[in-house]
Chains A and B, each alone.
Chain A
C-alpha cells in the first residue's frame, strides 16, 4: 500500500502538487517527489495526473458484498414533534434526480408515531414510495431506536444509496447506522451526482474549512451513505397529482433497546432566524464597524421581506448571535437575492452563499474578494448606500 511516482513518466506539470490535500508532494529537479512523512495514501494525486505517472497500489480487497443485490435510493425523512423538517424536502428533490439517473425507485423513510399525515406530502414532493415505521417508541428521536429500525430495514430491503440531512439529528444518526452496517459515509455533502457508467454515487464536500472540495466514493460497500448540508439542494415544486405507495413496516423495538432517555425537548424561546428558507438575505460583516450597523441591515431586510445574516467576523466580534451566521461554520443559504454589506468575502463565507440566485456586494474596498462572486457590486460607503437603497425599495413596493 503506497503511492509511487514513476520518474520517467513525470513531466513536472505540478498538477499533483495542487491536488494533494496534505502538502506531501514537492518538486525536485523538475519531477514530483512524495514526502512520505506527510503522505496519507489518500490517492487524490492519482486522478490529477495526466501522464499516468502516479501509481497508487491498492490491494484488491474482496468485501464479499454482492453490489447488484442493492437497489434504490433512500431518503431519511426527519420530523420533529410531527413537523416535517424543510431539509427533508430538499433531499427528496435531490434523491429524485439521483434515482432517475439510476433508473430506480426513490423511497422516503419516515419514522415516528402517528405521523400518517406526512406520508402523502412526501409523495407530492418526489417519493415513489414511503417506508413508514410507526411506533410509540419512535415518537421522539433516539439514537438507539432510530439506528436499530433503519439498520434492520436496510438489511432487509438493501438500498444502494441513502441520504440523510446533515442536521444535529442526522449527524448523530447516520454515522451510527454506517458503523453498524460497516459501510462508508460521507459527511455534509454539498453536491451529489451519479457516475452513470459505474452506477456509483459521487459525493462532493468541502474540506479544510471550505478551502478545497473533495469528491468521495464508496466503491465496494453498500448502501453508499451521505449526509447532505441543509440549504444546498433544491426541493421540487409540490405536485399533488403524483402517485406513490405508502408501505407500513413492522417495527421490532423494545424499551430496553433505547439506552438514552429523552426527559424533555426544549424549544428555543427566541425567534429562530430562518435563513434557509428566506428569499432575501441582508448580511453584515466587520465593515459595519459596530453592532448598531445591524439595525440598518434589519431595516433593509424588513423592506425587502427578508432576514438578516452575518459573516463569522461579526459573530466572533459579538455583534450578532451565531444563528445569523452564513458560511462554512454557519448556514448555507440560497436565497433569490443576497446582499453582502461590509463583508470582505473570506472563503468560509463564500462557501455558504455563493449559490444564491443573485448576489449584491456593497463594500468600500474595490479589491474585496466578495466582488468576485457578486452579480452586482457597489464600491462605496454602506452607510450612504444602504439608507438610499431602503428608501428606493420602499418607494418601489408602494408603487406596486
Chain B
C-alpha cells in the first residue's frame, strides 16, 4: 500500500501575541511546527505501516526551503520518503492554486492508494486544500476522520458531525482528512532523528520538475486575493462596577433589567 501524507509547516499560532502598544502581531521567536491535524494524518499512516508489511509512506509539503525541517521531523517519526515542492512561482497561492500545485506533485509521485491530509492548518483554518486536491485528482474523499479501518482496497471511516458521526465506506484510491480525535501522534525516536538527518534525504522539486504552468500556481493565478488585512478592533470600553458585594450584583441586574436583557 502506497500512502502520500500532505503536511504543512506552520507558525505555532498559540505562541503569537499582540503587541499591546502597536496592535501588531509579535512574530519574532514564534516556533515553526508541523500542523497539528497533519501530524494526526501522518500518525494514522504510520499505524498502518506498523500493522501491514508492505506500506510505503511519502510525505509531501509545499513551502519555502526551511520547510525541510518539518519533513525531517516526519522522516524521524517513520516516513520513508520526503518531497519538498518549493519555487518562488508558487508564492501567493490560494487554496485553489495550492491544490493544483499539490496535484501536479502527486501526479509525478504517480502510485498511491491513500492520500492523507490534516483537516485544516492552524494558520489559515480553511480546511479547503484536502477536498480541492481530491477533486483535482478525481478521487473520492472522506473528511473529518475520527476512526479508520482498511481492508484490502476497502476503506471504512467514521466522519465527525457536530451532533454525532457517519460511518462511511469507499474504495482506494481516496483522500482522507484527519482530525485530532483520530489518534495520538508519536514522538520521533533518537534513532529516527539520526536517520532523518544522516541516512534519509529530502527531495526538492521546483515548478519545472512537477510540470506545472503559471496558470495554475502562484498569486496571479489564484482566484482569491487579499484586499485588506487589519487587527480586530476591541469593542468600546465598558463599565467596571464598583465593589464586588451584593450591592454590585443588584446594580448589575438592575442595569440588565433597564435594557430588557433579563
Residues of A within 8 A of B (CB): 1, 17-21, 23, 37, 39-44, 47-48, 58-59, 61, 80, 143-144, 147, 167-169, 171-172, 174-176, 178-180, 182-188, 202, 206-221, 259-268, 272, 304, 328, 336-337, 347, 350-351, 354, 357-360, 366, 371-381, 384-385, 388-389, 392-393, 396
Contact bitstring B5-25, A, C-beta under 8 A = 1, else 0 = 000000101101010001111
CB atoms of B238 and A265 under 8 A apart? no
Which chain A residues lie closer than 8 Å to B135 at the CB level? 147, 175-176, 179-180
CB atoms of B141 and A377 under 8 A apart? no
Q: How many residue pairs, one in A and one in B, have C-beta atoms under 8 Å apart?
A: 286
Q: Chain A residue with minimal CB distance to B239?
A: A376
Q: Which of B25, B144, B159, B249 contacts A385 (CB 8 A)?
A: B249
Is B99 located at the chain interface by the 8 A CB criterion? yes
Which chain B residues lie closer than 8 Å to A167 at the CB level? 162
Contact bitstring B107-139, A, C-beta under 8 A = 1, else 0 = 000000000000000111111111110111000
Q: Which of A42, A48, A180, A261 contacts B219 (CB 8 A)?
A: A42
The prevalent SS among residues of B at the interface is mixed
CB atoms of B239 and A375 under 8 A apart? yes
Output the residue of B27, B99, B125 with the most chain A CB within 10 A: B125
CB atoms of B224 and A175 under 8 A apart? no
Q: Chain A residue with minimal CB distance to B158?
A: A266
The prevalent SS among residues of A at the interface is mixed
Complex CA distance for A17 and B170, rounded to whole angstroms: 48
Q: Which of B95, B131, B170, B226 contacts A261 (CB 8 A)?
A: B170
Is B227 located at the chain interface by the 8 A CB criterion? yes
Is B240 located at the chain interface by the 8 A CB criterion? yes
Output the residue of B25, B96, B131, B215 with the most chain A CB within 10 A: B131
CB atoms of A143 and B229 under 8 A apart? no
Complex CA distance for A19 and B234, rounded to whole angstroms: 17
Q: Which of A214, A260, A267 contacts B228 (CB 8 A)?
A: A214
Contact bitstring B175-198, A, C-beta under 8 A = 1, else 0 = 000000000000000000000000
Which chain B residues lie closer than 8 Å to A183 at the CB level? 96, 223
Which chain A residues lie closer than 8 Å to B171 at the CB level? 259
CB atoms of B238 and A377 under 8 A apart? yes
Which chain B residues lie closer than 8 Å to A147 at the CB level? 135
B256 nearest CB across to chain A (Å): 7
A311 nearest CB across to chain B (Å): 13
